[in-house]
Chains A and B, each alone.
Chain A
Amino acid sequence: MLTLKKLTPARIWLLIGYAAAAAALFSAPMFLSDFRLNLLAKFLAFAIVALGLDLIWGFTGILSLGHGIFFGLGAYAMAMYLKLEAGGGKLPDFMGWSGLNQLPWFWKPFENFGFAVLMGILIPAVLALFLGFFTFRNRIRGVYFTILTQALVIITTTLLVGQQAYTGGTNGVTGYSKILGQSIASSDTKRMLYWITAAVLIAVFILCRYIVKSRFGKVLRAIRDGENRVRFIGYNPAVYQMVIFTISAALAGIAGMLFVLHVGIISPSMMGIVPSIEMVLWVAIGGRGTLIGAALGAVLMNWAKSEFSTTYPEGWTYFLGAVFIVVVVFLPNGLMGLASKFKLGKGKRRSEPEHDRVEYPAV
């Protein structure tokens, strides 16, 4: 009973559901216009951040309001490559405007696509590990940790804006033309980038699922339930928190890289306080503590945002605020919580435990 995973009807339906979702993702280019496909690709990139955030918040109980930074650093790494590829050996335009006449040393290796991708993952990961090392080991948690992540956002965006010659300042980095020699604007490339994004999302989803279902994932949930108790069983929670925070940041970095490929620009305002909080809202609305919920939340909220904000540019923020209040008050477990309530209401699986639900509404 504890060893074998039986192929119960519920599991079969779940697998069919996953297969259908994957098929829908991969065939989307056949049904959507180039413009819509591009939007969907952007949303899928956001879904990757949401999955990472869910690992740390939903499953480990640590709220990070700084994921915009990890996302942004990944995006900048890719943007630097794209900018250099577009320039074809010339100095990026904003450097010239700021009076630089030579490419800074740290820009140089970003001419290599592989290096840029590696950095897009490593830089956010190392930064998270660094922050985690000094906070989790000293048992800084809860609100204090969250405030520190906000401070990280302010420091990083201020640095990016201030160092205009090296970072493009407020305008960010934009004006790309090619990726690996292919035109980035052609619909073939765009379709290919969409498929890559969909594939990465599925891979990340499988990875997260593995983590969450593993014994490691159980220890994470145990930390969420009672960090001290975990300590007296013999686990060092700080190490687990550092590892999951680092993985979470790396996933945000990957998402950032994909985002730049679809959107064509990254600037400090896209990774600041407001985007960081919005990312958390996607997870809250979708349902934290469930992977599907986090990913769906990101896609649905962004789809709603693009629909509403084109029709009512003023009303969007009010709508977002209203949705958030409704979710917090009536659906503490988000849309997935609603779905499982509905299932329970029909009298199915009542005796089964709900593994992934978060019990307490607070952080």
Chain B
Amino acid sequence: MIESSILQCDEVTVEFDGFKAVQGMSLQLRKGELRFLIGPNGAGKTTMLDVICGKVRPTSGRVTFKESVDIAKKKEHQIAELGIGRKFQAPSIFPSMTVAENLEIAMRQRRSVFTVLFARMKAEDAARIEHQLEMIGLQDKAEWRAGGLSHGEKQWLEIGMMLLQEPEVLLLDEPVAGMTDKETDKTGELLIEISRQRSIVVVEHDMEFVRNFASKVTVMHEGKLLKEGTMEEVQRDDRVAEVYLGKRRDADVSRSTA
């Protein structure tokens, strides 16, 4: 607990028209941590990410970035500038632009109108984009319209865009949805690689994926924190088994601990 936290959510509550999507949820993320956020449908996982990236304003509670910046007072684009990147569930890339152009505008840079209007593609920027293209395996499709990519490729492109943004905290909502097993493994390895320098929060439904790559897991249920700990601790927890499996704790979750 002495380690510096990069992101701290305290007692966050989000209410939509009387319905409490998130109730008094707290979450602490350390530097270089890869955290998985799991829970049944409607547990409030995505809403939690929305709060952190500024898409949704919390009804009450505080979100603090780097122990000093109050996120609730910032606009989305300011939060992104601070260094919190978000990848949405559905791949959201810019379909009418080329793959390279998508990466170019996502790249970390000053984002005021004037600098962007007179921006030149410097050799080092081109090299960064080139490097990213190789990393996400799209170097041969750099000049393709992004809208023409396959679903998995779009996911990769979006991850690539987020990495070029160089955020300190990455928020990923189901990054492996719609990916093949091979792509999923590759994504997991990439996440571990990234988490050496950055902190990551991943919302995930694919339990296989969570088991393979998670070190610390936070379980949410009905907007509240249910359990936090290592994958093993979580799997041994009776309440987790209950919400996940309807009291049949002998099934899927515990079996895989063996």
Contacts and interface: CB of A to CB of B under 8 A. Distances in A.
Contact of A225 (B81, B94, B104): B94
A235 B111 contact: yes
Contact of A3 (B94, B118, B123): B123
Interface in A210-261: 211, 214-216, 218-219, 221-222, 224-226, 228-229, 231-237, 239-240, 243
Contact of B80 (A218, A234, A240): A234
A314 interface: no
Interface in B151-178: 161, 165
A218 B106 contact: no
A359 B97 contact: no
Given A235-B77, A354-B145, A215 B116 contact: yes
A228 B50 CA distance: 12
B101 A218 contact: yes
Interface in A34-86: none
Interface residues of A, number: 34
Given A222-B105, A236-B75, A240-B113, A231 B97 contact: no
Interface residues of B, number: 41
Interface string B106-128: 10000111001111010100100
Nearest to B102: A222
A211 B113 CA distance: 11
Contacts of A216: 113, 116-117, 119
Given A233-B161, A234-B165, A359-B147, A218 B104 contact: yes
A224 B96 contact: yes
B67 interface: no
A89 interface: no
A268 B105 CA distance: 42
Contacts of B55: 232
A346 interface: no
B139 to A, nearest CB: 10
Contacts of B117: 211, 214-216
A359 B76 contact: no
Nearest to B133: A2
Contacts of A221: 94, 96-97, 101
B113 A218 contact: no
Contacts of B53: 232
Contacts of A214: 116-119
A357 interface: yes
Contact of A352 (B104, B119, B143): B143
A355 interface: yes
Given A214-B117, A215-B119, A353-B98, A233 B105 contact: yes
B238 to A, nearest CB: 38
Given A231-B76, A234-B80, A354-B145, A222 B116 contact: no
B97 A219 contact: no
- Residue in A1, A218, A239 whose Cβ sees the most chain B Cβ within 10 Å: A218
Given A219-B116, A225-B97, A231 B80 contact: yes
Interface of A: 1-3, 211, 214-216, 218-219, 221-222, 224-226, 228-229, 231-237, 239-240, 243, 351-355, 357-359
15 contacts: A2-B100, A3-B126, A214-B118, A215-B104, A221-B94, A226-B94, A228-B92, A233-B161, A233-B165, A234-B80, A234-B81, A235-B105, A237-B77, A240-B113, A354-B145
Given A222-B105, A232-B53, A234-B80, 13 more contacts: A3-B121, A215-B104, A215-B116, A215-B117, A216-B119, A225-B96, A225-B97, A228-B92, A233-B105, A237-B77, A239-B112, A353-B98, A353-B143
A-B pairs, 4 with minimum CB distance: A234-B80, A225-B94, A216-B117, A2-B126
